[in-house]
Amino acid sequence: MEKTFCIAGPIQPENHYHLPFRFDEKVLLDLIKAEKYFILHAPRQSGKTTAMSLFVDRLNASGNYKAFYVNIEAAQSARSNVVLAMATIVSAIRSAIKLAFGDNDPSLASIVDKKTPTDMNGNDLEEFLRVFAETSPLPTIVFIDEIDALVGDSLLSVLRQLRSGYKDRPKNFPQSACLIGVRDVRDYRIYSEIDQTTILGGSAFNVKAESLTMEDFSREEVEILYNQHTAATGQQFTQEAIAYSFEQTLGQPWLVNALAYQACFRDVKNRAEPITLEVMERSREALIVRQDTHIDALIDKLSEERVGNIVDAIISGNMEPKIFPDDDIEYAQSLGMLKRRSKGLEIANPIYQEVFPRALVASATRTIYQETAWYVNPDKTLNVPKLLHAFTEFYREHADILLTRKPYKEAAPHLFLLAFLQRVINGGGTIHREYAIGRGRVDLLISFGGKRFVIEIKVYRDSKTEPKGLLQTVEYLRTSGITDGYLVIFDRRAGRTWEEKIYQKVETVGNETVQVCGM
């Protein structure tokens, strides 16, 4: 069977190209030798399950430890029903033990008769782990995945049972344990129906020694992964294609694999034909339009208020980087949606930067009736002034509705300009967006008909908004080598009439000219 790039579920080494060494195993072994309990957290589809499953196999193969990996996500449906949750978890452990060590493992005797929730007492996880350690001639290690899938008292119970047995390690409880999830346990805010209060995960699991995470792929790792396909099939990736993949994904593992899968197994199946930059560009657009499960799950999070408020500020170029609770920022980061970089808090990578605004205006884009041909000059370039004039009329007509959108009220004008442009430019061009909290601006780099131009978007704050916007637009023009620049300023001040807000003019700064469009 020909290997492929994994885009669903854990990697199977025999079927998928993969990077076997995603973390420093010495760090893990040092924690295990020191009898520590620790956390591994990273966004979904980043390779946690694959990496830790392979690590568990190597631990057992070494002959120095007895380790098992278990996924307890199925217990999520039990919510705060602790007994039902424990029944589900114990059943998952039973299957994991049988798979790792066979049906006759001595630890199974302690749970073999507990087949239904009525046989449980709520402390069954702790009881089993004690037996697992006591019946093993080797130090025991436990890896529990999807820990943060549990809810309320069920999650608290697992954390407390692990904490309760911790003092009895290594002879009467696992020597080391790793909890695997999207978020660090210290970030959990767990509501207990029993106690009628919210409990911090750090206090419920204060035996944690360290929190580890998994980094995205480096540029070199992307090339190593893609070269596995070249070695297996002979199909080459050009250096431009590899560089583009890293530039657009910034190493997010699922996106790196998904781009290559689309390119090699959907777009270019002839192995004698190389994967070029142009192929990768088509693959990127296909992913964005198709919105597979990974992307769709992130889009769903955009409707959550604590995520939406931050993304709203990023898209609108809000100048206030400290207006959000740290908890909300950490939550969005843990999902892999946002990253802190030198420019400020940003949407994590260029593909997500394209996906999120498109998703937020998807319904509006379908209802905006605009034809590309209306704005194309005889030389096939875009008539941008005409396009912006048309948008100004559209915005004036629909602003009352647009500006009531929640939680994207601040970004509404930006989003609908993007929707309007997307509707027109999809007919023969591309839009590249650049934005981050604290920049006070949104840059659009548009390519159409072989020509590039820049649109800078700002919200009127004070009398300095236009001069500052002009300088920023000119700066972008000079650094990018583009000659056509446009500055769009949305005036949302109360009491201003449309006649006062709408204007178009041309300003000169140094040797550059910028067309200013107010609305």
pLDDT, tens digit (0-9, with 9 covering 90-100), for 314-358 = 888 765 656 788 888 888 998 899 998 877 788 999 999 888 988
pLDDT for 378-436, tens place per residue? 999 999 999 999 999 988 887 776 666 667 888 888 888 988 898 888 768 888 877 76
pLDDT of residue 403: 66
Q: Could you give the 3-state DSSP secondary structure of residue 235? A: coil
pLDDT of residue 440: 61
10 within 8 A of 48, measured Cβ to Cβ: no
As a whole number, mean pLDDT of residues 139-168 equals 94
Domain for residue 338, yes or no?
no
Last residue of a domain, one of 186, 213, 240: 213
Indicate if the pLDDT at residue 203 is higher than 90: no
Which pair of tokens denotes residue 376?
Answer: 């194309």
Same domain, 40 and 176: yes
Domain for residue 315, yes or no?
no
As a whole number, mean pLDDT of residues 155-161 equals 94
Same domain, 75 and 201: yes
Q: What backbone torsions phi and psi does residue 302 show, to the nearest 5 degrees?
A: -65, -25
- State the DSSP H helix or E strand holding residue 284, giving kind and residue range, or none if neither: helix 277-290
Same domain, 52 and 185: yes
Same domain, 138 and 282: no
Residue corresponding to tokens 């192929």: 279
53 within 8 A of 127, measured Cβ to Cβ: no
As a whole number, mean pLDDT of residues 454-470 equals 92
Q: How far apart are CA 274 and CA 451, in angstroms?
A: 27
Dmax (CA) for the chain in angstroms is 84
Domain for residue 105, yes or no?
yes
pLDDT of residue 143: 97
pLDDT for 9-18, tens place per residue? 888 889 999 9
As a whole number, mean pLDDT of residues 53-61 equals 94
Domain for residue 301, yes or no?
no
Domain for residue 341, yes or no?
no
Written as one letter, the residue type at 260 is A
Which pair of tokens denotes residue 305?
Answer: 């208020």
48: left (phi over 0), alpha (psi -120 to 50) or beta: alpha
pLDDT for 213-226, tens place per residue? 888 999 999 999 99
Which pair of tokens denotes residue 3?
Answer: 């290997």
482 within 8 A of 474, measured Cβ to Cβ: no
Q: pLDDT-derived band of residue 439, with 50, 70 and 90 as boundaries?
A: low
How many domains does the chain contain in total? 3
Same domain, 400 and 479: yes
How do strand 451-459 and strand 442-448 relate by DSSP bridges?
Answer: antiparallel
pLDDT of residue 117: 59
502 within 8 A of 397, measured Cβ to Cβ: no
Instruction: Please give the DSSP secondary-structure letter assigned to residue 491.
Output: -
How do strand 484-490 and strand 442-448 relate by DSSP bridges?
Answer: unpaired
Same domain, 504 and 376: yes
Q: Which of 14-23, 324-333, 502-511 has the highest mean pLDDT?
A: 502-511
First to last CA, the chain: 59
Same domain, 401 and 489: yes
Q: Which residue has the higher pLDDT, 209 or 60?
A: 60
Q: pLDDT-derived band of residue 438, with 50, 70 and 90 as boundaries?
A: low
Instruction: Please give the DSSP secondary-structure letter assigned to residue 4.
Output: B
Q: Which residue has the higher pLDDT, 182 or 60?
A: 60
Q: How far apart are CA 107 and CA 125, in angstroms?
A: 12
Helices (H), 72-198: 82-101, 124-134, 152-166
Domain for residue 334, yes or no?
no
Q: Which domain holds residue 68?
A: 25-213
The rounded mean pLDDT for the chain is: 89
As a whole number, mean pLDDT of residues 16-37 equals 91
CATH (domain of 78): 3.40.50.300
Q: pLDDT-derived band of residue 40, with 50, 70 and 90 as boundaries?
A: very high
Last residue of a domain, one of 213, 234, 250: 213
pLDDT of residue 427: 66
Written as one letter, the residue type at 28 is L
Q: How far from the centroid of its chain's Cα atoms is residue 35's Cα?
A: 32
Same domain, 72 and 137: yes
pLDDT for 96-127, tens place per residue? 999 999 999 998 876 655 555 566 678 889 99
299 within 8 A of 292, measured Cβ to Cβ: no
Same domain, 70 and 209: yes
Indicate if the pLDDT at residue 154 is higher than 80: yes
Q: How far apart are CA 128 and CA 109, in angstroms?
A: 9
Same domain, 467 and 483: yes
pLDDT of residue 119: 67
291: left (phi over 0), alpha (psi -120 to 50) or beta: left
Same domain, 285 and 146: no
Same domain, 190 and 240: no
CATH (domain of 259): 1.10.8
